[in-house]
Structure 1
Amino acid sequence: MKRVSQLTALALLCGLASMSSLAAEMPHSLTLEQIQQQHGAVIDTRASAFYNGWPQTLTGTSGHEPAALNLSASWLGAMSDEQLARWAKQHQLTPETAIALYGSEADNKAIQARLEKAGYRRVSLLSDALQTASRLQRLPHFEQLVYPQWLHQLQQKKPVVAAPTGDWKVLEAGWGAPKYYLLSHIPGAGYIDTNEVESEPLWNKVSDDKLKAMLAKHGVRHDTTVILYGRDVYAAARVAQIMLYAGVKDVRILDGGWKTWSDAGLPVERGTPADVKSAPDFGAPVPGQPQLMVDMEQARGMLHRQDASLVSIRSWPEFTGVTSGYSYIKPKGEIAGARWGHAGSDATHMEDFHNPDGTMRSADDIAAMWKTWNIQPEQHVAFYCGTGWRASEAFMYARAMGWKNVSVYDGGWYEWSSHPQNPVSTGERGPESSR
């Protein structure tokens, strides 16, 4: 055998390195059928809005590939290696799993590099992605979760998908005085104080007459499209859910709230809200959808049923009675027989429902989380929390997911715990406790 010179060996090594680099930059492709045959995973690297169903162009396809996971390249800066590892474990990905990516070239490369750094070597591209419209999946009501660029185009009077059919307005929702709103807000947005829709002592919704007056004050009729956002998503969701109850037909929220608008670098303005011309008539009875709220007796009647779920959107420490979650709510525990619908680390967080950028987590993930506690889409499902904010966010997500019979138990733990005769549970327990 001839001896290879050092220069020749070096050239061979450089060539192999170059080929390896090229392979990393341009991975081989697989079709959806091929990746399914390998029991692999498909990952959509686009923003969650496009994964959920918003088309990227006016005439583009809508939705994501069957069973695709969403790992947006835009999240990478907010995901530590540990968080990425948890995400992969949750979705049963191992270093041996075949993975096919689709999205823009830049996004695919960013995700591929991060996955390979984490030890995933079988990463390729999905060659037939988004080419067969009939097989794509989407949120049944993706339009109820708008994204910043869509709203900006609407404001610019450009044609958009799922445009409002009539008058529309943007409102920022927050508790108390508009201190953050005054510093910076979405151009043209009004401001609504959550105290206008709920009141003490239990922070339940205000009377129907007060709701009607509130809607008139903000110039909202039953046929006005209202787009709500908040510094906290659940503040906007609280107002949105109550407006739907009142009878406003088309209420949407900015997915991810103010942060997504700010992160997108879109225009902002400061100062007080512009004068609003009040609406002389709502144009329909109030409430228009009374079934969207249940009272304490109705909530009690939903316990221990297979065709209904009373769902706690509270943190695990609240659910198990370690804390009440609120300084002004003294009793600890949970409604006996309620099912745990997850929430977040404490009473002010909803991480279990959020992507790293604060947008809604995938519908498949949320449905799987709920299914563990026998919370099913065909049931009558009523969400509650301490006073209604987190429950309203879960309600808005379930509605976007197409769940048809969802409502909010407005009184929540605050009202329930104020009646000593109501059954209460504490301690660690599982789904069997709600049968």
Structure 2
Amino acid sequence: MKRVSQLTAALMLSGLAHMATAADMPSQMTLSTLQAQHGVVIDTRLSAFYNGWPQTISSVGGHEPAALNLSASWLDMMNDEQLQLWAKQHAIKPDSLIALYGNDDETKAVKTRLSKLGYQHVALLSDALQQPARLQKMAHFEQLVYPQWLHNLMQNKAVVAKPAGEVKIIEAAWGAPKQYLLSHIPGADYIDTNDIESEPLWNKVSDDKLKALIAKHGIRHDTTVIMYGRDVYAAARVAQILLYAGVKDVRLLDGGWQSWSDAKLPVERGLPNDVKPAPDFGATIPGQPQLMLDTEQARGLLGRKDASLVSIRSWPEFIGITSGYSYIKPKGEIAGARWGHAGSDSTHMEDFHNPDGTMRSADDIAAMWKSWNITPDQHVAFYCGTGWRASETFMYARAMGWQNVGVYDGGWYEWSSNPKNPVATGERKPL
């Protein structure tokens, strides 16, 4: 008896046997037809639109139910092996039924690339983005802005999720503004991370020093601050501390400086413009003290089902092969911490990034965390070596709508400085 593939069998049972071969695949299909065949939906647009930003001022943003995001803009950044790995991670097989949506150029580019790798059952989603009520979006997509939105805001054009009051754009990096001087977003201020954290443990500065820094940069509690950096986690570190201080609306440029550069938007060079200091923050500092945990508070999250102390460190750091830092000698991990992923080493965050450096989809991140029993109903505190990587994941969790999240400021550096604190090493599985 002649064998048939699972896809062919399913299509025959549904009366759609003509779809069984690539040559006979329909050029389009509806979401309901695709779902009936347990097919895969792929959104080929920029991640910003997938996350929830509308493409026009009058449209509705978000993605189709259960859609994956494979932006056509990423294709030049992914070799065949990387693209096949992406498909494997999302359980897409060569005989999977796939429907794409986006503009014509985007869907054509993705279809061509997938076809070359042997994915032959690829069609277009005919009713994509036509039923706003069924679209899904990240809970607070507006907290991760994208370059064109920011440019339109700066040009005083109408934008969705427009800030209510004054807006300040700030670049953050460690040390003197060397790269900033050569090229930065027009009108952006600059914050040296040395001004918001200090030795010996690189914890945040005192609240009094933080208050002075915020005033120096003209920031009040009701100022909207849009942070970006050459490294996203540098900007996130400042953003998280500003939220702790009580600034109500702090946003990140998703993908950082690279995303602005890739968009080929205007830049300027030179020193920051003179900033008029803010005479008063307008609220008590810290406004959200719960966002920053000390060692005892972090310890209190260990061993609980309703809480997670989450390590945002590479696997080699987590199991104690390396400390990750030249200035941190002890190796290992906080005993009882759960692994939240990070990247290949202490300066990378690939596990959380799309190929262009923007935030990976919320569903992917949530699934990654769930595999280590880290869930949105828990009290979750992230930490890393000294706070940068933890702050980036904090900003993502916040955008995803996780309610009870914070950062253990001291991280591995502070924890490991006390030999009485319990440490774990070696391979291990989720707690």
In the superposition, the TM-score normalised over structure 2's length comes to 0.94
- The 5 A counterparts of 1:182-261 are 182-261=181-260
- The 5 A counterparts of 1:71-86 are 71-86=70-85
| Aligned equivalent of 2:167 | 168
Measure the CA separation in 2 of the matches of 1:71 and 1:29: 18
Q: Which deviations, in whole Å up to 9, do the C-alpha atoms of 1:42-65 show, x marking residues without a partner?
A: 000000000000000001121000
Q: Which deviations, in whole Å up to 9, do the C-alpha atoms of 1:178-215 show, x marking residues without a partner?
A: 00000000000010000111000000000011111010
Measure the CA separation in 1 of the matches of 2:60 and 2:97: 25
In the superposition, the TM-score normalised over structure 1's length comes to 0.93
Q: Which deviations, in whole Å up to 9, do the C-alpha atoms of 1:282-335 show, x marking residues without a partner?
A: 000000000001110011110010000000000000000000000000000000
Residue 229 of structure 1 and its aligned partner are, at CA, apart by 0.2
| Aligned equivalent of 2:357 | 358
Q: Which deviations, in whole Å up to 9, do the C-alpha atoms of 1:148-173 show, x marking residues without a partner?
A: 00000011110100011000010000
Partner of 1:311, secondary structure, is strand
Structure 2: runs of 5 or more not aligned: 1-21
Measure the CA separation in 1 of the matches of 2:280 and 2:269: 30
Partner of 1:326, secondary structure, is coil
| Aligned equivalent of 1:125 | 124
Partner of 2:316, secondary structure, is helix
Partner of 1:309, secondary structure, is strand
Pair 1:389 & 2:388 matched: yes
| Aligned equivalent of 1:266 | 265
Measure the CA separation in 2 of the matches of 1:60 and 1:194: 38
Partner of 1:275, secondary structure, is coil
Partner of 1:94, secondary structure, is coil
Measure the CA separation in 2 of the matches of 1:328 and 1:165: 43
- The 5 A counterparts of 1:418-429 are 418-429=417-428
Measure the CA separation in 1 of the matches of 2:71 and 2:407: 31
Q: Which deviations, in whole Å up to 9, do the C-alpha atoms of 1:346-380 show, x marking residues without a partner?
A: 00000000000000000000000000000000000
> In percent, how many aligned pairs have the same letter?
78
Partner of 1:227, secondary structure, is strand
Q: Which amino acid aligns with 2:90?
A: H
Measure the CA separation in 1 of the matches of 2:143 and 2:264: 22
Residue 28 of structure 1 and its aligned partner are, at CA, apart by 1.1
Partner of 1:124, secondary structure, is strand
Residue 271 of structure 1 and its aligned partner are, at CA, apart by 0.3
| Aligned equivalent of 2:28 | 29
| Aligned equivalent of 2:16 | none
Q: Which amino acid aligns with 2:36?
A: Q
Partner of 1:236, secondary structure, is helix
Partner of 2:95, secondary structure, is coil
Partner of 2:45, secondary structure, is coil
Measure the CA separation in 1 of the matches of 2:51 and 2:112: 24
Partner of 1:177, secondary structure, is coil
Write out the 4+ residue segments of structure 1 that deviate beyond 4 Å after TM superposition. none
Measure the CA separation in 2 of the matches of 1:358 and 1:308: 29
Structure 1: runs of 5 or more not aligned: 1-22
Q: Which of structures 1 and 2 has the bigger CA Rg?
A: 1
Instruction: Say what the alpha-carbon RMSD is for the aligned residues.
Output: 1.0
Measure the CA separation in 1 of the matches of 2:192 and 2:98: 46
| Aligned equivalent of 2:330 | 331
Q: Which amino acid aligns with 2:323?
A: S
Measure the CA separation in 1 of the matches of 2:85 and 2:122: 18
Partner of 1:221, secondary structure, is coil
